A and B are shown apart, each in its own frame.
Chain A
Amino acid sequence: MYETIEQLLANNDIFTLSTVLEYWDGLVMTVQLVFLSLIIGLVLAIPLAILRTSENWLVNRSVWLFTYIFRGTPLLIQLYIIYYGVAYIDGIQQSMFWPIVREAYVPTLFAFVLNTAAYTTEIFRGAIVATGRGEIEAAMAYGMSRGKCMRRIILPSAFRRALPAYSNEVIFMLHASSIASVVTIIDITGAARDVYARYYAPFEAFTFAALIYLCLTFILVFGFKQWEKRWHRHLRPLSS
């Protein structure tokens, strides 16, 4: 097995060891970026979704404005505003953050986090609002406070309801992450652009990248299907 791969690499002009390694580094970068933005976005989205269902008009509307702006504009523009704009914040070039912020990684992560947080907030809001009236009344009748009811009753069932929509958002984020290559990050797409430029072989370079993304998508779809099977076990028909 190992030898055949070695042979295949030896007989190939484009996919040499160094190219494959570049794709591998790109894969690591893509997975890392997507994973980090999803985790941070999720952590931000849960409190935002709760605030979004608040009865206070001002709180509700300000969260709505955030999701409205970030869902209504292209991620590319958001990335440009953050990536090119960060250098123009007063005093940032003298501050201790400058060495971190100057690299493309942190601004990109920042843009991705805000974008996915906006979409996830709206997904969770929909799930929270759809909680059965009776469940909440029962919790109130047991004397639970609003916070306790949220923690014990609303959120656990809302997460289950949100899962199918959230799995779509995860795949959307994986695909959107290819935009990072526009601001010099070497992710899978970035590696493909590099290989294209080096060998002038667009077909091979981008098809290989597309195949990697396709595999990642299939893994995610399969994983979420298993997860849904576990979490939605109570919804399955009796005979099967």
Chain B
Amino acid sequence: MLDLHGYGPAIFKGAILTLEVAFLSLFIALLLGMLAAVARLSKNKVLNGIAMVYTTVIRGVPDLVLMLLIFFGAQIGVNAFSDVLYDRYGIDFYININEFVAGVTTIGFIFGAYMGETFRGAFLAVEHGQIEAGRAYGMSAWQVFKRITVPQMIRHAIPGIGNNWLVLVKTTALVSVIGLEDMVRLAKEAAGAVHEPFLFFIPVAAVYLALTSVSEYVLKRLEIRFSAGVVRA
């Protein structure tokens, strides 16, 4: 359909890669966010402090700087680590941090901080009487968490998760800067080769626009679904 001087199929593959990065990092972000929120609300001072530093520092630094730091910095860290292993114990162990791993972990790590704040707010929004009632029924803390808190906090968290997801999708464009062959990078290379920037960047922009539009629609449906049984004023 769209040939784009023969670059069409490659850019399509890049679009698939963008989607992979987005979904994988969303998964990591949700996991880290849940951990951060639980740590933030726990009575353990150390856990609480770690989670607070994590959510504050990460949200105060641009994504691109963190991405460059992790991509270039982590490789040197890993190299130093494998040197020590080899010198001391003779273990030949080496990991090459590639762009894909660096991109996905960085975006997941960044949005974990945002998700953490979203989840924290959602946990706090669950009525305390509900939790007390669970306790009164003789449920353990874990049972209360699993059966009462989580199902009710999801409803409060969905709008926040949705906003974070929309920002995350747009942030995936940054992986092109650290060299991952996503659709942005491919479009840039093609535009440079053929000298037609609009021809390549506008379709890529349209893909992002379609992605955010579809996401918004799905999120609206999800919100309705999870608000079942809530009486609106």
A residues neighboring B (CB under 8 Å): 68-69, 72-78, 80-81, 84-85, 88, 174-179, 181-182, 188-189, 192-193, 196, 202-203, 206-207, 209-210, 213-214, 217-218
Contact of A74 among B57, B61, B171 (CB under 8 A): B171
Name the contact of B68 in the complex, choosing from A74, A85, A192 (C-beta under 8 A).
A192
Rounded to whole Å, the gap between the CB of B175 and the closest CB of chain A is 10
B69/A74 in contact, CB under 8 A = no
A213 and B60 contact, CB distance less than 8 A: yes
Specify the chain A residue showing the minimal Cβ separation from B66. Answer: A210
Q: What are 29 A-B interface contacts by the 8 Å CB criterion? A: A73-B170, A73-B208, A74-B170, A76-B177, A76-B184, A77-B173, A77-B205, A77-B208, A80-B184, A80-B188, A80-B197, A81-B197, A81-B198, A84-B192, A85-B201, A88-B197, A88-B198, A175-B63, A176-B62, A179-B64, A188-B65, A196-B72, A202-B76, A203-B69, A210-B69, A213-B61, A213-B62, A214-B57, A217-B60
Number of contact residues on B: which range applies?
35 or more
B213 contacts A by Cβ under 8 Å: yes
Residues of B within 8 A of A188 (CB): 65
Knowing A206-B72, A214-B60 touch, does A72 contact B209 (C-beta < 8 A)?
yes
> CA of A88 to CA of B199 in the docked complex: distance in angstroms?
12
A209 with B65: CB separation less than 8 A: yes
B60–A189 touching, CB < 8 Å: no
The residue that B208 contacts in the complex, of A72, A80, A209, with Cβ under 8 A, is A72
Q: Is the interface of A mostly helix, strand, loop or mixed?
A: helix
